[in-house]
Amino acid sequence: MVELVLRSRRVVTGGGERAAAVAIQGGTIVAVGSYDDVFDTEADTDLGGTALLPGLVDTHVHVNEPGRTEWEGFASATRAAAAGGVTTIIDMPLNSLPPTVDVPALRVKQAAARGQTFVDVGFWGGAIPGNSSALPALHEAGVFGFKAFLADSGVPEFPPLSPPELAAALDAAPALFVIHAEDPRYLSDLSGGATYDEFLASRPPEAEHAAIATAVEAARRAGRRVHILHLSAATALPLIAAARAEGLPVTAETCPHYLTLDAGHIPDGATEFKCCPPIRDAANADLLWRALADGLITCVVSDHSPCTPELKRRDTGDFAAAWGGIASVQLGLPVIWTAARARGHALADVADWMARRPADLVGLHRKGRIEVGAQADLVAFDPEETFVVEPARLHHKNPVTPYAGKKLSGVVRTTWLRGHAVTGDVARGRFLTREDT
């Protein structure tokens, strides 16, 4: 007897797509059989031609609770995640108050989240000047690693690390470090009323190059794993390739907006497109796609970073004053699938980039895949259905999005967390720690 069987003509496993039946017991996949296999089960659902994917794992989400809950909160962020086929998020240590830079701050954040998470949630710790001594205890408390900025983060309570401070942080804790890689020496200030072109020019590719070189040198010296967050500048890819060829534990991610949006088509005053590092041109995106296909970029995650409409300065269109962040945890799967299929990629590629590889980045090897022994975090996804993005239908707290009005392919029909359909009524999400790896 098993609790649930899900059948589909398009089950996406590590070997590609195939017709299969997935049997679930106790929140775990216990069998992946042929489509017509018979099971003694309490519930048997045939999805037909709707694809069955592993639940996505998004390792780059800013929930902002507590402290800036008017920007986003755990209930709204995790409802949006589930609606987008994401079953696990790893929350960034900022822009909450307090930032997650020591164990007491982690406990405050967990207390704020308790009872209102609709998907599983893990946490990053933060590395800031002066907290190196707090990192070992924070690591032992279960964070998946530490985030550091090499340039201003946008919030005063989370200042950047200098290269010597980054080296000290890496020495302090045997953990994965994830780096916002922009070098402040190459960034310039903007005057009020700045246009997108002026904003883009203020954060040139050289800022990413220099910061990635700093991160690579820190990884080389300390022997620590370093992961480059939200890579935008494709011209920095040779630095990462050289580090990998040297055998250094350096990886990189990118985001849907860098792969699918084009700086040349951002309307005047459309501050919903502002993020840091910035969206660059279509030729740059082509190079990012090539690196993703080749495995040099290991995963695609959202960098979901919402704020209030007022902070986005939508009334003035001022790129100097607007908050830099794009909220897309609900839309990442159809955004990437729409673009990927146009480039000849398969659903299995998308699942690899957005489920298995992010899970592997943080050591959650029972998530992000459909195989015996994996957790039954699953998504019924209709890859042929299309829809037009309507902000009012988004679940994150402030539905400001650069994708408004865009026609996308792929609709999430149902999301299961450990075999239970996520309805938005019952918060079944759990806190994850390194003990889950």
Band (pLDDT 50/70/90 cuts) for residue 191 is confident
Average pLDDT over residues 8-12: 98
The pLDDT tens digits of the residues spanning 160-189 come to 999 999 999 999 988 999 999 999 999 999
Provide the pLDDT for residue 269. 95
- Is it the case that residue 424 has pLDDT exceeding 90? no
Q: Are 277 and 306 members of one domain? A: yes
Burial 39-64 (b: 16+ CB within 10 A, else e): bebeeebebeebbbbbbbbbbbbbbb
Band (pLDDT 50/70/90 cuts) for residue 39 is very high
Average pLDDT over residues 44-51: 98
* CATH code of residue 59: 3.20.20.140
User: Whose CA is closest to 118, among 55, 171, 175?
Assistant: 55
Is 431 contained in some domain? no
Is 437 contained in some domain? no
* CATH code of residue 410: 2.30.40.10
Is 224 contained in some domain? yes
Q: Are 151 and 272 members of one domain? A: yes
The Cα–Cα gap between 323 and 120 comes to: 27
Q: Which strands, in side-by-side order, build the sheet including 177-180?
A: 125-126, 146-149, 177-180, 226-228, 250-254, 299-300
Provide the pLDDT for residue 315. 85
Provide the pLDDT for residue 165. 98
The pLDDT tens digits of the residues spanning 298-326 come to 999 999 999 999 999 988 999 999 999 99
Provide the pLDDT for residue 161. 98
The Cα–Cα gap between 165 and 153 comes to: 16
- Is it the case that residue 437 has pLDDT exceeding 90? no
The pLDDT tens digits of the residues spanning 229-288 come to 999 999 999 999 999 999 999 999 999 999 999 999 999 899 999 999 999 999 999 999
The pLDDT tens digits of the residues spanning 364-391 come to 999 999 999 999 999 999 999 999 999 9
Q: What is the mean pLDDT of the chain?
A: 97
Q: Are 45 and 59 members of one domain? A: no
Percent of the chain with pLDDT strictly greater than 70: 100
Is 436 contained in some domain? no
Is 344 contained in some domain? yes
